[in-house]
Amino acid sequence: DVKVTQSSRYLVKRTGEKVFLECVQDMDHENMFWYRQDPGLGLRLIYFSYDVKMKEKGDIPEGYSVSREKKERFSLILESASTNQTSMYLCASTSGGSTDTQYFGPGTRLTVL
């Protein structure tokens, strides 16, 4: 079974803090994604990576950066957290292109106070 794990299920941070969200997959997948899920807005793509050290902006990259130093690990960084970044963050990975199944982690519920 493919497993995608996220470092925290729940996280509370203060405005202005630097926040790291970690995602690890164990299936040697090439592509990894970060989404955020908000009520009434669905899943929105923040960033994705199709190889180590490669990254592409998604639909809402502002206020975020990413890092992929190893194939299995994809990190989402909030340089200076703001209250409008309070959300559910979901990591996903897939072995191939967009028609291949994306496997999601359990999510991190981030609250920024």
Partner 1 sequence: DQQVKQNSPSLSVQEGRISILNCDYTNSMFDYFLWYKKYPAEGPTFLISISSIKDKNEDGRFTVFLNKSAKHLSLHIVPSQPGDSAVYFCAATGGGSEKLVFGKGTKLTVNP
For residue 58, state whether it binds partner 1 (rule: CB under 8 A): yes
| Residue 16 makes contact with partner 1 by CB under 8 A | no
Q: Please say which residue, 84 or 99, places its beta carbon nearer to partner 1.
A: 99
Q: Please give the residues from 65 up to 104 whose contact with partner 1 meets the rule CB under 8 A.
A: 90, 92, 97-99, 101-104
CB-based contacts of 53: which residues, under 8 Å, 6+ apart?
68, 69
| Nearest alpha carbon to residue 94 among 71, 68, 75 | 71
The rounded Cα 110 to chain-centroid distance in angstroms is 12
Using alpha carbons, list the distances in angstroms from residue 28 to 42, 82, 90, 98.
27, 33, 18, 16
Closest CB 105 distance from partner 1, rounded Å: 5
Minimum Å distance from CB 87 to partner 1? 14
Judged by CB under 8 A, does residue 54 bind partner 1? no
